[in-house]
A and B are shown apart, each in its own frame.
Chain A
Amino acid sequence: MRDPDEELVGRVGAGDKRAASELVRRHLPRMVGLARRMLGDGAEAEDVAQEVFLRVWKHAGAWKPGQAKFETWMHRVAMNLCLDRLRRSGRQGGEVSPETPDVRASATRALDDRQRRDRVRDALQELPERQRAALVLCYYQDRTNIEAAEILGVSVDALESLLSRARRTLKSALSAERADLMSGIETN
């Protein structure tokens, strides 16, 4: 299957600004989203996304079609940048932002979608980084299991093990939200 970005990347390598703008429109939200879910910080996520595109501009001229899917390569670059940052800062997961209120004590309180979303984000940051990386790639970045395994440098079996553990950890962290959601579904 032809890489949908191949033609754009070639034009970017030739200095076509319009092609660069289209490539940014296509992929910037995904890159920011990946970095935000991995790092838990919007400003840092934008820094990483910018760095990803600097690498894109640097290597577009030498990109050889057919060697790999360009979007998979971008994801690999972004994930490596995030993992580097996490290691440098000593963040490995298990940290919840001190500003976020702990809603686990109020399991009976009805939660709206925005609160649930915030809890999901907090729970993602609590995951060990390898589980978070696997889940982010497969659930939020729409990478296939093969692409995600390749990006992380693991086998598909190892990826599935990471995903299972991630889901188990998240279910435990989000038990109140799950109960609230299920009760909402049952009464509707």
Chain B
Amino acid sequence: MNEARFMTLLSAYGAELSRWPEDERAAAEAMLEVAPHRVKDIWESERAFDHLLALEKDAPASIALETKVVSTSPDRRSVRRPVGALGRWKAPQWVTGGAIAASLALGFAVGYAGEPQPASSESAEYAKMLTINGAGAGSMFLAALDDPAS
């Protein structure tokens, strides 16, 4: 690593080496060991600025918000599809208990095999939104990158 590369990375990532590209950290540490005073002074200045930026921290989420979010999560009843027709079959009185048990087991197997899957078109649409080639915010962001005003 040369000084120019070191300064480029310092200007982008600051003095917190854990933010630096993983494959360049060791070289950066070695560089800092033998760097001239002017480079070390710049490093210390960036480190102080990092401390200022680090005053902004995550706050714990409120219990109310946590509870609200968890309440919207799926439960086993909403994930499992209702058992098929055989499960709702009402046995006439003359059917034996064994026959009823066998029928229920078969109905459960039919229902369980039909576990709901997300609608493929919905998943594809959502995946499209997330890609830079899609028509969603990702591509809008990329288009804005070409704007020289920013």
Contacts and interface: CB of A to CB of B under 8 A. Distances in A.
Contacts of A60: 74
Interface string A170-188: 1100100110011001000
A59 B123 CA distance: 8
Interface in A16-56: 16-17, 20-21, 24-25, 28-30, 32-33, 37, 46, 49-50, 53-55
A80 B48 contact: no
A184 to B, nearest CB: 10
A57 B74 contact: yes
Contact of A29 (B48, B49, B61, B131): B61
B85 interface: no
> Size class of B's contact patch?
35 or more
Given A33-B58, A84-B137, A163-B12, A170 B74 contact: no
Main secondary structure of the interface of B (DSSP, over half): helix
B56 A120 contact: yes
B141 interface: yes
B93 interface: no
B105 to A, nearest CB: 21
B138 A153 contact: yes
Contacts of B137: 80-81, 83-84, 87
B59 A33 contact: yes
B88 interface: no
A24 B77 contact: no
B96 interface: no
A168 B8 CA distance: 12
A167 B64 CA distance: 35
A154 B49 contact: no
B82 to A, nearest CB: 14
Contact of A167 (B49, B57, B61, B132): B49
B129 A80 contact: yes
A121 interface: yes
Given A117-B55, A154-B145, A28 B69 contact: yes
B33 interface: no
Interface of B: 8-9, 11-14, 19-22, 45, 48-49, 51-53, 55-61, 65-66, 68-70, 72-80, 116-118, 123, 126, 129-132, 136-142, 144-145, 150
Nearest 7 A-B pairs (CB), nearest first?
A20-B73, A153-B132, A15-B76, A33-B58, A15-B79, A163-B12, A117-B55
Interface of A: 12-17, 20-21, 24-25, 28-30, 32-33, 37, 46, 49-50, 53-55, 57-62, 73, 76-77, 80-81, 83-84, 87, 113, 116-117, 120-121, 124, 128, 130-131, 133, 138-140, 144-145, 152-154, 156, 158-161, 163-164, 167-168, 170-171, 174, 177-178, 181-182, 185
